[in-house]
Structure 1
Amino acid sequence: MKTHRQRRRATTVTAAFAATALALTLAPGAGWAATAAPDPTTTPTPEASPTEAATPPPAADETPSPAQTASPQPTPTASTSPEEAPPAKDARRTAAPDDGISELSAAPYMGWSSYSMQVYEGGQWITADQIMAQSDAMHDKLQKFGYEYINIDAGWNGGQDEYGRPIPSTTLFPDGLDAVIDHVHDNGQKVGLYLIPGMSLETAQKALPIYNAPGCTTENLLKQPLQQGDYWGFGYRLDFDNPCTTKYIDSIADLLGEWGVDFIKFDSVTPGSGIGDLSMDAREEVAAWSQALKRNDIWFELSWAVDINYADYWKQYADGWRVDWDVECYCGDEALTTWENVARLFPRLSDWWRHAGPAGWNDLDSLNVGNGKMDGLTRDERRTATTLWATSAAPMYLGNDLTNLDKYGLELITNREVIAVNQAGVPARPVSTATKQQVWYALNPDGTYTVALYNLGRADADITVDWSDIGLDGSAKVRDLWAGKNLGTEADGFTAGSVPIHGVRLLKVTPEKKAVLTVNDDSLRVGYAGDWVRNDGNEVPATSQPFTVAVSDTPGGGTPTPPATGLTVTLNDNDSRIGYSGSWGYSNNRGLGDHGDDVHYVETNGAAFEYTFQGTGIQYVTEKHESQGEVEIYLDGQLVDTVDTSLPAADGRLSQQVVYGVADLPSGSHTLRVVKKSGSFMLLDKLVVTLDSQLSTTSGAFNRAAPADITVDVLRDPSELASISIDGEPLERDADYTLSGTTVTLKSSYLAALPVGDATLDFGFTGDHLDDVHATATDGDSVSFTFRGTGVTWVAPKGPDQGAVDVYIDGKKVKSVDTHGDSRVSNQELFTVSGLKDKEHTIKIVKTSGDVLRTDVFRYTVKKVG
């Protein structure tokens, strides 16, 4: 409760100002339109009901403004690849003494938001009585577990004052909004409100004076020529070249501070919110609001589905940001959400997880798990959703009616061990998203791991986590956090038996004495000082390449000509490496000309498939048909295209159509994700990947009648050749093949045992740990890692463009290390020390020479964890 803050009682709206447009278009009006919400996977027209703020009819004390009734100009365009690409920067914002990270965002916030119930009940759900009832219910049931925010969403406002600042609706709050705020604060809680960018044309034309800014009015605050300011077209973009604009934002933020507001949700933020082409751009306004709200100690949350290309910008100015569309299903009082709206968050978080931390949090929207009769989820799905919010370190704010929670819902949202996972603030990352049985994990500051085993499939399944996959070498104790039971000690991993459909097991894994823990370069525990970037061409991913051998047995025919094979690999839609999210089906024996005579298909908008590949290009191949529609194409987390897979009915059906392709990508790891946007169906037939060659040739030939070895050169450091295999079975080095220098010799004795025809060998190469590194070109830049243990090893690449570094332990220089190498080689142990006292230590690596410094892994040995 902010008793220290002087609160200004909300001004009663006068008849004159009740009829004016809001200065900041805050989803005007106090009623709620009982209209269908737009499909969140389509780009709506300006006249469509907004996803978060469906244009409501005015309350009795309000008159709609032109911004509420007229079609805005200009019309927003569909998202395409951004016109200006932000520079590649470090994966997350790193705290520093002068970094300015808000103390508010030290951990994800916990609370409640009105919006899900506003949608569910089809009417305005934010009256004074209702808000105070939610506050009382939170105080009685949830507050002791950490829930403290009561956030009032769109529609709370009722006009503007004589300075163009918003004022609350007197219909919703007849005793004033300040009475509600006081009630929430008296319950020991915090209160939030809702804003969106821009200003109405009417407010600008009135030339209203700006409070506490002599000589400034609302006139000339709009950017010229006029640009739409928000997704729904309520207002226009502000001009921050005019210093009065910042003063106007300050005047509103200071008013909110006087009211005692603790939280602002800033909706329709672009780039994002369905607009990625910079035809709308709210970044300047985000920065202005951030500075004004920070001065008033107000949490600043961005919404909705902000563009990941600008993640560093959002982290600089906000405490949290929504990463996807609304979780609500917009299905009236049938349900608050659906499983599909939860499941689609998994692939989204596989891109976003590394951007969250004490600088701000990935917002997954309301957690609607409190009452099975309204949630729209099964019991297992409710627990899975709660686990996902907790392990993602996402703000845990509930969307249910807090006065009507069921017993199971209360058990979910008040489990102290699960809440502790969330509040530890370490977002989990996936081992892989190429399967529906997924392992997500986080290494906590105390050396324990949080591990979630998710079954996204359609049948019960056993799910195994191998300790090696999460960076743990050694045995570990296992505890089931939902069951509250210790499960014993496991040497190499743990298998959860029969995890139910859409279910989860949540584990705490505690390494035992002498275990070695591997910490990747993008862990929150690794700190960077200077101008570091993640990957940006500095990485070498693990990869594999096929090598085709044509085997014949023609007497006297000599060695045949090797087959002409290119550097492309075709993956059928049933390839296990393709990850599907949503309710996908599989259809085979179609007889329609599809590759492999089969396809995967899905009907739900927002469903997606994803594939990570090592190469320079990829093609998405599918059918085209009248039943299909638009799909969104994401490459490496960026929306790059929206393609139409439909055909006029008269054109019938076309199979094996390349609807999207890209070539000449930088050599390395890339991820393609395709999301259904419209139409009845989206299909996947096959993917065609262009590889980056690792071999001097892609094929060879062998004649049993004239046997001879086959040689091929590897085009990277030979130490990185990890294996040669066929159909998953490894060849034995020295027995089946030899490696001398860069030359691989496939022995004729092995080749003679292959059947006649084409045999495909797979050459596997190691790369940087988890296919990523951090790099800097500036001398004096450093990377550091703090741990408790008895030894530490720094693992990083060597390369011809690298030089020397200084190594410090606990602030004392202990060694200079040369990281130069004749060729680029990954996974080099460049420094190691053992025999340290079992206490907290810090290792720091400082660049002193060379063109670039790369860092990959820290490994440390523990004596005691916890």
Structure 2
Amino acid sequence: MFTRSGVGPLYWNIYGWSFPHNAAIPEDEWKANIDWLARDLAPHGYTMACTDGWIEGSSRTTEHGYVTSYNDAWTHDWAYWAGYLARRGMELGVYYNPLWVHKAAVAHRSKTVTGRPDVKIADLVADGDFFASGIGGDTLYWVDVTRPGAKEYVQGYVHYFKKLGVRYLRVDFLSWYEDGRDANLGSVGRPHGRANYNKALAWMSEAAGQEMELSLVMPHLYQHAEVEIRHGDMVRVDADADRGGWDRLSGGRQNWQCLWPNWFNPFAGFTGYADRSGRGQLILDGDFLRLNTFASDDERRTCISLMTIAGSPLAVADTHADIAGHTWAYTNDEVLALNRQGLVGKPYFHNATSYADDPAARDTERWAGQLPDGSWAVTLFNRSDEPATRELPLTALGIRGAAQVRDLWAHRDLGRLDTVRANLPAHGCLLAKVTPDRPSGSRYQAAFAAWGGGAAFGNTLPGHEAMGYACIAGEEQSVTFVVKAPRAGTYRLDMRYHASQAARLTLGVERPDRTVVTPPRSLAFRPTSGRWATLSGRVRLARGENLLTLIRMGDGSGSIALNYIDLG
């Protein structure tokens, strides 16, 4: 009812970097990298190997038109490699778009749509409607989703991969399908329209269910990802990592544009879509990590720290041949512990204005996120080319006085501080764990929770605590907190809020797997007469992680500003 997972995975992703442009990785190199992954990275949690790109060379298909391997030059099929990985305690991820139809399947008149023997694969496509027709590509057709059998074909593709044990499907070139436009290349093909785009993603999402994660790549993200957040789990928010390096991580175009990629680098992309991230919302994907391409260890630490604090997947695109002694940056278990706990932080918000409209509205160099046990991760970045000092007072987190601070890269306690401060080298960072005193229960700040359905940040009401608060003002708007309970039982719950008129919202609690812990129940919020007030009650929690969501349902009314919750 309320959430999807929202935790960025750890995985290794193949790319064609060491080979000619637009050439698939040889199968023996794929095996060598899996063996390296199993030996050096899997013990730290990197337990998925995912294919990526250069898929036009895969023309062998099943009787229903589904490609059987990554490339025709490979000896083994998907099933073989899924089994090879499974025997090593790992999983297979696949890069493919279920809207693609290989021309070899179209030409083979005996091939029919799964479940629809009356529909040939050739009946699903329009003449000349190729995936990259505008730039000379004629290998892959787009499915015409208005034709009979299209839904069965698209959903059948998803089920085909699911049956192979694929838990992660990376669906690319979505902007090219929606309107046939590319910000750099211009027209690349026929537009299929927003309604058909929405329909296609809905089909994929329905077929994927809870067993498969849908990663949406190259979407235009019109209306601030309105369609993608309904149907996807993960979404790319910046340009390709390409050849890597600092320019791709922090440089390039800094302003927003209406076509994909809205922002060029992940610093800006994560910041611009920070109001769309968190449990139950979108996982923001900053693309692949190629640590061998950076000029210094400071840049490598910054790259990993940014992906971690933003809740992005840690997708290794280095290979066994070029990792060059940089494995240490991927295997810091104190940093990886944040990922395992589902950390999704936010940049510091100065105001509620859209980052696309006002680049000064949010600070890309100061980030914080709250962990399920109530502690915090704080990251300070120096994106400049000169040494600089960065700091974040703990009052921004709602912490009064000092708290214990630990440097996770140096593995060193910094003592009890009331401000996290660091003198940083060019392109450097500090990633710190902040543990406040908790004499009774834990406090969770709404400004750093997950905002759903258009719930928004605010900081103009006087007397608020921390960076700000979350505003629930319309139907389906919600705030989700991830809280950790030491034992199953009933806990005291206090909610600090501000309301100009009476409001009625719904509270519910689920486990991360969507098992209901506390059935949704309606809560009445009284007007607060221009002040902050507290609504107190009791809530049942399961042992471990709980997703506590306050939402305005269809029968709800009014609006509130939610500052924080206290769990006793």
Structure 2 counterpart of 1:426:
343
Structure 1 counterpart of 2:206:
291
CA contact (8 A) 1:437 1:455 kept: no
Distance in 1 (alpha carbons) for counterparts of 2:212 and 2:554: 42
Q: Deviations over 1:346-376 (max 9, x none)?
A: 121112233233445211111111x3xxx13
Shift of 1:241: 3.8
Q: Deviations over 1:723-777 (max 9, x none)?
A: xxxxxxxxxxxxxxxxxxxxxxxxxxxxxxxxxxxxxxxxxx9999737511235
1:394 to 301, 307, 312: 312
User: Greater shift after overlay, 131-140 or 157-166?
Assistant: 157-166
Q: Deviations over 1:163-218 (max 9, x none)?
A: 43323377521355544443333222212332233446785576542244221212
Letter in 2 for 1:495: R
Alignment of 1:52-201 (within 5 A): 94-95=2-3, 101=4, 105=5, 107-115=7-15, 117=17, 122=21, 124-156=23-55, 157-161=57-61, 162-168=63-69, 172-176=73-77, 178-196=79-97, 197-199=99-101
Letter in 1 for 2:218: W
1:361 to 279, 283, 294: 283
- How many residues are aligned here? 508
Structure 1 counterpart of 2:497:
795
Distance in 1 (alpha carbons) for counterparts of 2:525 and 2:342: 34
Q: 1:829 to 1:363 in 2, by over 3 A?
A: same
Distance in 2 (alpha carbons) for counterparts of 1:843 and 1:210: 41
Identity %: 18
Structure 2 counterpart of 1:776:
474
Distance in 2 (alpha carbons) for counterparts of 1:131 and 1:201: 26
Distance in 1 (alpha carbons) for counterparts of 2:241 and 2:217: 12
Structure 1 counterpart of 2:527:
819
Shift of 1:413: 0.4
Is residue 443 from structure 1 mapped to residue 370 from structure 2 by the alignment?
yes
Q: 1:830 to 1:808 in 2, by over 3 A?
A: farther
Distance in 1 (alpha carbons) for counterparts of 2:369 and 2:47: 26
Letter in 2 for 1:115: Y
1:263 to 168, 184, 188: 168
What is the DSSP-based 3-state SS (H/G/I as helix, E as strand, rest coil) of the residue aligned with 1:159? coil
Q: 1:338 to 1:221 in 2, by over 3 A?
A: same
Letter in 2 for 1:337: G
Alignment of 1:618-637 (within 5 A): none
Letter in 2 for 1:424: Q
Is residue 506 from structure 1 mapped to residue 431 from structure 2 by the alignment?
yes
Q: 1:459 to 1:522 in 2, by over 3 A?
A: closer
Structure 2 counterpart of 1:414:
331
CA contact (8 A) 1:131 1:180 kept: no
CA contact (8 A) 2:506 2:520 kept: no
What is the DSSP-based 3-state SS (H/G/I as helix, E as strand, rest coil) of the residue aligned with 1:855? strand
Q: 1:125 to 1:421 in 2, by over 3 A?
A: same
CA contact (8 A) 2:379 2:431 kept: yes
Is residue 852 from structure 1 mapped to residue 554 from structure 2 by the alignment?
no
Is residue 327 from structure 1 mapped to residue 241 from structure 2 by the alignment?
yes
Structure 2 counterpart of 1:348:
269
What is the DSSP-based 3-state SS (H/G/I as helix, E as strand, rest coil) of the residue aligned with 2:532? strand
Letter in 2 for 1:489: R
Instruction: Report the aligned-residue RMSD.
Output: 4.3
Structure 1 counterpart of 2:299:
381
Q: 1:791 to 1:205 in 2, by over 3 A?
A: closer
What is the DSSP-based 3-state SS (H/G/I as helix, E as strand, rest coil) of the residue aligned with 1:819? coil
CA contact (8 A) 2:343 2:370 kept: yes
Alignment of 1:640-679 (within 5 A): none
Distance in 2 (alpha carbons) for counterparts of 1:441 and 1:173: 45
What is the DSSP-based 3-state SS (H/G/I as helix, E as strand, rest coil) of the residue aligned with 1:325? coil
Q: 1:167 to 1:832 in 2, by over 3 A?
A: closer
What is the DSSP-based 3-state SS (H/G/I as helix, E as strand, rest coil) of the residue aligned with 2:112? coil
CA contact (8 A) 1:393 1:423 kept: no
Distance in 1 (alpha carbons) for counterparts of 2:38 and 2:556: 59
Shift of 1:380: 0.7
Structure 2 counterpart of 1:828:
532
Q: Deviations over 1:790-824 (max 9, x none)?
A: 7734222314xx45779999999999652175xxx
Distance in 2 (alpha carbons) for counterparts of 1:806 and 1:284: 30
Shift of 1:851: 5.4
Q: Which runs of 5+ in 1 are unaligned?
A: 1-92, 96-100, 330-335, 543-719, 723-764
Letter in 2 for 1:155: W
Shift of 1:494: 2.5
CA contact (8 A) 2:106 2:122 kept: yes
Structure 1 counterpart of 2:229:
315
What is the DSSP-based 3-state SS (H/G/I as helix, E as strand, rest coil) of the residue aligned with 2:149? helix
Q: 1:437 to 1:193 in 2, by over 3 A?
A: closer
Q: Deviations over 1:299-343 (max 9, x none)?
A: 3222125516363532333332211110113xxxxxx43334345
Shift of 1:290: 3.1
CA contact (8 A) 2:503 2:524 kept: no
Q: 1:833 to 1:436 in 2, by over 3 A?
A: closer
CA contact (8 A) 1:117 1:125 kept: no
Larger Rg: 1
CA contact (8 A) 2:398 2:467 kept: no
TM-score scaled by length of structure 2? 0.75
Q: 1:273 to 1:402 in 2, by over 3 A?
A: farther
Distance in 1 (alpha carbons) for counterparts of 2:145 and 2:522: 51
Q: 1:293 to 1:168 in 2, by over 3 A?
A: same
Shift of 1:503: 0.3
Structure 2 counterpart of 1:468:
395
Q: 1:384 to 1:806 in 2, by over 3 A?
A: closer
1:247 to 152, 158, 178: 152
Distance in 2 (alpha carbons) for counterparts of 1:214 and 1:132: 37
Q: 1:237 to 1:494 in 2, by over 3 A?
A: same
Q: Deviations over 1:22-68 (max 9, x none)?
A: xxxxxxxxxxxxxxxxxxxxxxxxxxxxxxxxxxxxxxxxxxxxxxx
CA contact (8 A) 2:496 2:533 kept: yes
CA contact (8 A) 2:470 2:561 kept: no
CA contact (8 A) 2:172 2:216 kept: yes
CA contact (8 A) 2:398 2:445 kept: yes
2:247 to 311, 330, 339: 339
Letter in 1 for 2:95: Y
Structure 2 counterpart of 1:457:
384
Structure 2 counterpart of 1:520:
446
CA contact (8 A) 2:240 2:287 kept: yes
Q: 1:406 to 1:467 in 2, by over 3 A?
A: same
Structure 2 counterpart of 1:214:
117
Letter in 2 for 1:774: I
What is the DSSP-based 3-state SS (H/G/I as helix, E as strand, rest coil) of the residue aligned with 1:468? helix
CA contact (8 A) 2:96 2:170 kept: yes
Q: Which runs of 5+ in 2 are unaligned?
A: 252-264, 350-358, 486-490, 510-517
